[in-house]
Amino acid sequence: MIGMGKVPAIRPPAFALLPYGLAVALVAAALGLTLLLQSVVSVAGYIFFYIAVVASAWFGGRWPGWIAVILSAVAVAYFFIEPARSFVITREAAPIFLEFAITSSVVGWFSSWRKEAESELQRRVDQRTTELREKNEHLLNEMAERKRAEDAYYEAQAELARLTRLSAMGALAASISHEVNQPLAAVVTNADACLMWLSSNPPNLDEARAALESVAREGTRASEVVRRVRAMFANAKPERTTLQMNDLIREVVVLLAALAQRSHVQIETALEPGLPATLGDHVQLQQVLVNLIQNGIEAMRDLSDRPRRLLIRSQTSDSGRILISVRDSGVGIQPKDEKRIFDAFFTTKAQGMGMGLSICNSIIESHGGKLWAAANADHGATFQFTLPAEPAAS
């Protein structure tokens, strides 16, 4: 109908009177059973009235329970207290009637109280369950949101790491060209030698075959250099594989050899034989070593009173982890900067971004290791990081 809103639910009068009707019916049933069995049941037959009182109070509540108590007392007084069929209660029968009246009242009160207590307890349990369900849903939503934020953070960090590698490409260009030029020069030399041996009369096929094998070997070496450089600057997802840190250190030393030579820095290595393998991303760990070595070279750029030496050491720590250290003889670390050097955007370089060491720290931590730095007792600083060692194959 037009203009008619939502009508509030109204409790029907018949429904409200139903508990009282139930009390009357239960007392009537108790009376009928007691009268039917009174020939074989003594005063203990009042048990049916107790049952009627308990059931009325339990299902109907406090007031229907009291109605059942009153009706039961009236029925007992009229039908079962001498003189029967009369409401007159003699002095001899009074204790029996009072006992029944008091007992039925206590039983009815206890039944209604217990029902109310259980209903209140159930209400509180339902309320608490609802609250816990809402809090659990809220917590799950927060966890999902935090997971999305963490994924976005790691994606942004990976992209920033790639941009940092690209910014270092200019400094590595001379090293890359130097490393590629060597196998290419060997290819040309061996190709000329092969032509010479083939032009001989008679042709020296053994020497020509050896020269061609050398051409293939050096060509493969040049291809591997290009692949490694492309992998370092590619926007590829991290991939964990089994790595030998000694081999990775040797690769990076070759990669930065020209940069060290131009900066008049002598790179030395002290690599522990039989160093355990580790599980990690080749490009990311390569970036860590490149950043630490570059920082060491730059720290010695203006030295003139002592040799420019950079020592890279690998060893197994007392706890069984792989320990890598990069030690330079440069300007060192100021005490006030020791706790800040791994913070994002903190730098002591005029043209620095302040992200290199922060990214290195994040990479090492994501590999289950730890990166730290300390000033040397004499000159320079030492950067060290640990990595978990893979269990030896049985």
Residue ranges covered by each domain of the chain: 13-133, 168-235, 236-394
Please report the pLDDT score of residue 338 as a whole number.
67
Per-residue confidence (pLDDT) for residue 8, from 0 to 100: 47
Backbone angles phi, psi at 155, to 5 degrees: -65, -45
Q: What percent of the chain has pLDDT over 90?
A: 13
pLDDT digit string, tens, across residues 200-230: 888 888 888 887 887 887 777 677 666 655 6
Q: Exposed, middle or buried: residue 70 (CB in 10 Å: 0-12, 13-18, 19+)?
A: middle
Of 246, 272, 324, 260, the C-alpha closest to 296 is: 260
Contact call for residues 245 and 324 (beta carbons, < 8 A): yes
pLDDT, tens digit (0-9, with 9 covering 90-100), for 91-130: 776 777 777 778 778 877 877 778 778 878 888 888 888 8
pLDDT for residue 43: 45
Round to whole Å and give the CA distance between 232 and 362.
17
Residue 42 has what pLDDT? 52
- Give the pLDDT of residue 15: 57
Q: Tell me what pLDDT residue 248 has.
A: 93
| Bridge partners, 312 (sequence order) | 269, 326
Predicted confidence at residue 124, as pLDDT, reads: 86
Domain 236-394 CATH assignment equals 3.30.565.10 = yes
Tokens representing residue 292 in the block:
């630490």
Cα distance between residue 388 and residue 394, in whole Å: 18
Tokens of 387: 């990595």
H helices of the chain, in order, are: 13-37, 47-60, 62-79, 94-167, 169-199, 205-233, 245-255, 257-262, 282-299, 356-366
Q: What residues form DSSP beta bridges with 112?
A: none
Residues in the chain with pLDDT values less than 50:
1-10, 43-44, 350-353
* Cis, peptide link before residue 391, omega less than 30° from 0: no
